[in-house]
Amino acid sequence: MSGLDTRSKSTYIDGAWRDGESGETYTSWSPSTEKPVGTAQLSSPAQVDAAVASARAAFEGRDWRGYGPKDRAAVVTRFADLLEKNTEPLARLIADEVGTPIGAARGMQVGGPVEALRWYAEMAERGPRGGYAHALPLYDKPVLSTSLLRYEPAGVLAALPAYNYPINLLAWKLGGALASGCTTVVLPSPQGMQTTLRVFELLDELDLPPGVVNLVVGGPDIGQRLTGHPDVDLVSFTGSDAVGGQVMAQSALGSLSKAVLELGGKSPNIILPSADLDATVAPSILRFARNAGQGCAAWSRVLVPEDRLDEFCAKADAFIRTIAVGDPQDDTTVVGPVISAAHRDKVEGMVSDAVAAGATVAAGGGRPDLATGHYLNPAILTGVDVDAPIAQTELFAPIAIALPYSDVDDAMRIANATSYGLAANVFGPLDEAMPVAERLRSGTVTINGGAGMRPDAPWGGPGRSGVGRELGEDGFAEFFEVKHIQWPLAGVTRPPGT
């Protein structure tokens, strides 16, 4: 589809593409070229109702319920195969719509979802917590009895992925739903809409029973209609903590449905006194500047021994000058644009406010000299109070705060002085870093940079970083309700207490 086309059939309900009926359109603009990526007609509230009704009918119908664990595993595997087969065009589309540099997009934005889906396929066969049914030990009060725990799919899922990793976040939600036997209504972020539409074209090739997967597109009104719908059983949302709180309230008022929320972060990156400072500079910067800083686990607070802060910033400034900022379609680019001009203006405003309050841009900063695109150079600020707005707010930009500390206890105080708790990192010898990792209030802690994003490890964190988990055994279990079945071994008995 060319950037000038308007896609009318942007809503997928009951196994068929339909025209969006709201009478409104949304155009996705490339943050690098500032040209339109595509325009879509938006769904109406009535189409949200129709999508949920279709998902409910599919969940309760015989066709989808007839898919056993191996059948569902095969579906998820075929989904992964289709994504993998289309890696290059999907990565190019994400580079255009989101701005992720193509060299990273192939792996992070497409390869990661493929790996997660293949893990979900394995889980479909294994079942949650090691199986779909678990026997409990015998119980002898008031009579000898036995019990069985059955894990059954939760029902209709409302899935709302964010724009920054549109396929990843969709795969985490849809992969778990398909593997567990749930049915789904997806509402993507408008800023990742074109990528999601393309993924649904691939999903259509799976020939699933009508209603198993559905797609609506729109803004906050459509989100409120979906998350507050009385026939939704589970909501899975990725986005800001402010919107996440609204989603939780809407789901509670709608059907008291369970909400799994993966929200923001202001992740600390602690460089211990014994760490090799030179070795920490590049990974520290690349981690907070990855995807132009548009990641909830960006190491956006760098904690440095106070006597080495100036040295770290000097080395950081030298390294930032080597980073290629620019066209995300260029394989040599390391940092692409932020999502919009409005978002860049907001970030620059926060940096200006911090500088006016006494902060210093100690490394990098400013905009690259490019004719088009919403670019920011990576930057590190110093002279910021721990509780300053820029030190407490998730920026979603390649900007970090360097905070000096006097000793490890002081570093722990600073690191945990946040309402978030999604991720953290510690640089230093393992025997010193491990006790620090154990003291951090964080859902995930890496040491010396960790490694890849494991689909078998849970993702999420305490505080305003969210509720529940995605991925891992804990994340897969979110897609289920557990049923306890109990019976006496001696036949029919009187109810306890009678």
Contact in structure between 458 and 445 (CB atoms under 8 Å): no
Distance of CA 299 to the CA centre of its chain: 16
Q: Is 498 exposed, middle or buried (0-12, 13-18, 19+ CB in 10 A)?
A: exposed
Give the separation between CA 259 and CA 494, rounded to whole angstroms: 38
Helices (H), 8-144: 45-60, 62-65, 69-85, 87-97, 102-104, 112-126
Residue given tokens 């006097």 in the structure block: 406
Residues carrying an active site annotation:
262
In DSSP terms, 487 is beta-bridged to: 146
Give, in order, the Cα–Cα distances in Å from 298 to each of 107, 112, 346.
17, 17, 18
**Gyration radius of the chain's alpha carbons:** 24
Cα separation of 325 and 361, whole Å? Answer: 18
Going edge to edge, which strands form the sheet with 133-139?
133-139, 145-153, 480-488
Reference 112, options 479, 459, 480; nearest CA is 459
Are 398 and 288 within 8 A, CB to CB? Answer: yes
| Torsions phi, psi for 353 (to 5 deg) | -65, -40
Cα–Cα distance between 277 and 170 in angstroms, integer? 37
SS3 120: helix
Residue 238, sorted as left (phi over 0), alpha (psi -120 to 50) or beta, turns out to be: beta
CA distance 247 to 252: 8
Q: Are 301 and 267 in contact (CB under 8 A)?
A: yes
